[in-house]
Structure 1
Amino acid sequence: MSDFLIEKPIPYYEQFYHSIKKMIFDGTYKPGERIVETQLAKQFGVSKSPVREAIRLLEKEGLVIVDDRSRVIVYEPRIKDVEDIYFCRMALESFAVNLMVKTASDQEVEEIEKTLDETEKAILQAKEPAAIIALNGQFHRLIVQFTQNKRLQKQVDDLKSLTQFYRILNFQKQNRAEIILQEHRSIFTHIKKRDEEKASQEMITHLEHDLIHLKNILKKRT
């Protein structure tokens, strides 16, 4: 038998899901803005079904809200929402780093350090914010991944889309990238020393600082 493989085409609803999600993250669709399904379907020459399915996935992740009149509205963060999400992140990620320090291999620890070095390089080269934000997210993702705890990973993954939404919002302010990197390196210092308690506390402190910064941004907006 030959090694020929037929690649399965990406379903329309997945394409719409990723496209709409990207437009929410890059600000093409603003918080509170309405997304009209019929207009999207007409614009791309497809039926409403794949657009509706994409919206359903985005609603499940919390990035859009379907109101009582069936209008699709881009999620608009509230201070209470941010507090709730960050409370969950503090609980989950402080536990994750504690567990990861105990179980991760030296090679995995080196991979986290490499991510921090790549982040510093990206900042020095003044790369696009999206690239630096992605590396910041990778730092947190690797910590959870290296716990080898699938159920913990799923709990964190359930918050992934809103976490990314907040991560982009949190990037506002001069020298914000440098501040975040410095706090990540502080966490890593204790990871490398295999001091799970201090690493866990530094993670909580880092997320507390993020929360304060985000709340200030939202207060200024209102």
Structure 2
Amino acid sequence: MNYKLDFTPVLDGLPSLLIACLGTFALALGGMVLAIIIGIGGVMLRDSRIAPVRWFIKSFVEVIRNTPFLVQIYFIYFALPLAGLRLDPTPTAIIALGINGGAYAIEIIRGGVQSIGKGQIEAGLALGLHKAQVFRLIVLKPALRAIFPSLTSQFVLLTLTTSIASAISAYELTSVAQQIETSSFRSFEVYGVVTVFYLVISWLMMRFFGMISTRYFSYPVK
């Protein structure tokens, strides 16, 4: 084996890689916010009295969970323009991440909601609270306490999934790494360093969620 390591291209591109990490965090944050909105809204609508609404939510979850994320992001980026809706790579990636994460969030949050005793819900209704108020005040926070570890693990996975957004040239860590590798042909060095970057990003995300858990849910995420 005559291969000699040369990290010079990586060191030269290090500023670009560090800035690209911010792009990764931005995609992840946008995707998480949208996923939470979809997750909470989907749980509230999943048990709607309107049958087509229930059917739509259940179908949405099954379709998203049983198709590859790459196909989903390609559909949004390449197929929707045929219907007159054209988006730039970054908003496309955020929407795709949010939709994908939202489908999983619906099932995770739903599991937490089902863990709440019906007696508590009935008590809230007996006090004159609307269903939305019961959901927000009585159901949601205890449910989040129960599902927080699962939800944060899903969001860390969503953060790592941002790398697939490089397929549509969204600005994030993997897309910048591909540019450096293409110009330098130092695949081992570039992707070795990027692997370390993703490990650090995952660790930072877990520490961040751990602080939230300690502050609001009384136990740390391990």
TM norm. shorter chain > 0.5: no
TM-score normalised to structure 2 length: 0.29
TM-score normalised to structure 1 length: 0.29
